[in-house]
């Protein structure tokens, strides 16, 4: 008989998890934000190069003989934006999400995302709300110092001594070598890959425990689904995007959302071209999502927060498996 039938998380931590779910729902109910549910399975998925989707085949009525490919969603983002375009107003969701190839101390291929969207907010206003949510759920016992907000450039200047917007690939390679980071063979033009290695291996471990750190104004090349702000006075353009850390743990990723359907199509097509070059699967363009943007997404900001990581921080746990009843190796 298998010995690993028991949950990986203790009952005490599962009770803590249930309490945090209730606290999140109370937080948004008090602010008039509607809870919604969107599909886990869909005909398309976000084609971002660094996201790997899981897929299955549906063979129900109306499906082709070989079945229709359906994707387990890496995030509820596109469906929630379709609701926004249809006039939903502010919305949140505690969604199951799936990403292939992700398993480890802070990753599980099936996980819970807390995602919400605020019409009328920019990314700075949404950072205020994220800070309020973390104060309500983690409290002074975990958050022992005031939150700090740094631009991406300020973060790299402080912890790596370089300008991430202007440093050449050779300068980034030298910084990686000086930090003792063994870099894989990267394309000479892949500055973002080098910046990501510096961020995860050099900078994140240096972020102070017990403090929320907001990082914003990312390089334009890392915009994903965020708006771009043109450069001024010789400064480079930046993406109106932010990430949230508690200590060294990356917790959330937010955007002042792109609402331009033509620009979004261009970015998706660029992602698909990059996928083809790398030999990665190429999902179909999500034409329903693009049609929703064309119909009119209200000006808004949105953020996706890793709920399992939030529970991990609240519990003082060292790994997601300690706060998930049945992680992938026991599922």
The percent of residues in the chain predicted with pLDDT above 90, rounded, is 92
Return the structure tokens found at 301.
């900001």
23-32, 177-186, 194-203, range with the lowest pLDDT: 177-186
Return the structure tokens found at 169.
């690939």
CA dist 156 and 25 (Å) reads: 36
Q: Is residue 330 part of a domain?
A: no
Q: Is residue 154 part of a domain?
A: no
Asked if the model's pLDDT at residue 308 lies above 70, the reply is yes
Mean residue pLDDT of the chain comes to 95
pLDDT at site 188: 79
Q: What is the mean pLDDT of residues 260-273?
A: 97
Q: Is residue 244 part of a domain?
A: yes
pLDDT at site 301: 98
Q: Is residue 137 part of a domain?
A: yes
Residue 75 belongs to domain spanning: 11-145+208-322
Q: Is residue 101 part of a domain?
A: yes
pLDDT at site 30: 98
pLDDT at site 101: 87
pLDDT at site 40: 97
Q: What is the mean pLDDT of residues 112-121?
A: 98
Q: Tell me the pLDDT tens digit for each residue of 235-263.
A: 899 999 999 999 999 999 999 999 999 99
Whole-structure pTM value? 0.96
Asked if the model's pLDDT at residue 2 lies above 80, the reply is no
Q: What is the mean pLDDT of residues 150-165?
A: 97
More confident residue, 182 or 139: 139
Q: Is residue 185 part of a domain?
A: no
pLDDT at site 189: 79
pLDDT at site 102: 83
Q: Is residue 200 part of a domain?
A: no
Return the structure tokens found at 193.
């890959």
Render the burial of 111-124: b for 16+ CB within 10 Å, e for the rest: bbbbbbbbbebebe
Strand partners, 112: 96
Please, which pLDDT band fits residue 1 given cuts at 50, 70 and 90?
low
What are the C-alpha distances in Å from 69 to residues 53, 132, 280, 292? 12, 40, 16, 22
What CATH number is associated with residue 285? 3.30.930.10
Q: Is residue 302 part of a domain?
A: yes
pLDDT at site 275: 95
CA dist 290 and 27 (Å) reads: 31
pLDDT at site 182: 83
Classify the phi-psi angles of 224: left when phi > 0, otherwise alpha if psi is within -120 to 50, otherwise beta.
left
Q: How many domains does the chain have?
A: 1
pLDDT at site 26: 98
Asked if the model's pLDDT at residue 184 lies above 80, the reply is no
Q: Tell me the pLDDT tens digit for each residue of 189-226.
A: 789 999 999 999 999 999 999 999 999 999 999 999 99
The percent of residues in the chain predicted with pLDDT above 70, rounded, is 100
pLDDT at site 130: 98
């Amino acid at each position: 008989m298998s010995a690993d039938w028991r949950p990986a998380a203790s009952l005490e931590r599962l009770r803590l998890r249930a309490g945090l779910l209730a606290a999140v729902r109370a937080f948004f109910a008090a602010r008039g934000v509607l809870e919604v549910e969107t599909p886990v399975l869909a005909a398309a998925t976000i084609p971002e190069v660094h996201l790997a989707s899981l897929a299955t085949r549906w063979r129900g009525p109306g499906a082709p003989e070989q079945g229709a490919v359906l994707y387990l969603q890496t995030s509820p983002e596109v469906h929630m934006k379709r609701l926004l375009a249809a006039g939903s107003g502010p919305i949140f969701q505690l969604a199951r999400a799936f990403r292939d190839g992700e398993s480890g101390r802070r990753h599980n291929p099936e996980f819970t995302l807390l995602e919400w969207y605020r019409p009328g907010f920019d990314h700075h206003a949404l950072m205020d709300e994220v800070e309020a949510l973390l104060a309500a759920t983690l409290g002074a016992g975990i958050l022992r110092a005031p939150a700090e907000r740094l631009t991406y450039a300020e973060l790299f200047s402080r912890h790596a001594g370089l300008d991430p917007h202007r440093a050449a690939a050779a300068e980034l390679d030298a910084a990686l070598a000086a930090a003792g980071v063994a870099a894989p063979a990267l394309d000479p033009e892949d500055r973002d890959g080098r910046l990501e290695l510096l961020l995860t291996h050099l900078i994140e471990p240096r972020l102070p425990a017990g403090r929320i750190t907001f990082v914003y104004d990312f390089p334009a090349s890392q915009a994903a689904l965020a708006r771009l702000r043109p450069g001024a006075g010789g400064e480079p353009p930046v993406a109106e995007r932010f990430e949230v850390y508690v200590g060294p743990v990356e917790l959330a990723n937010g955007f002042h959302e792109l609402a331009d359907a033509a620009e979004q199509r261009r970015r998706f097509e660029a992602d698909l071209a990059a996928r083809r070059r790398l030999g990665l699967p190429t999902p179909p363009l999500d034409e329903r999502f693009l049609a929703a943007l064309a119909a009119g997404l209200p000006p808004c900001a949105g953020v996706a927060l890793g709920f399992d990581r939030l529970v991990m921080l609240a519990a003082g746990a060292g790994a997601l498996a300690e706060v998930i009843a049945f992680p992938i190796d026991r599922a």
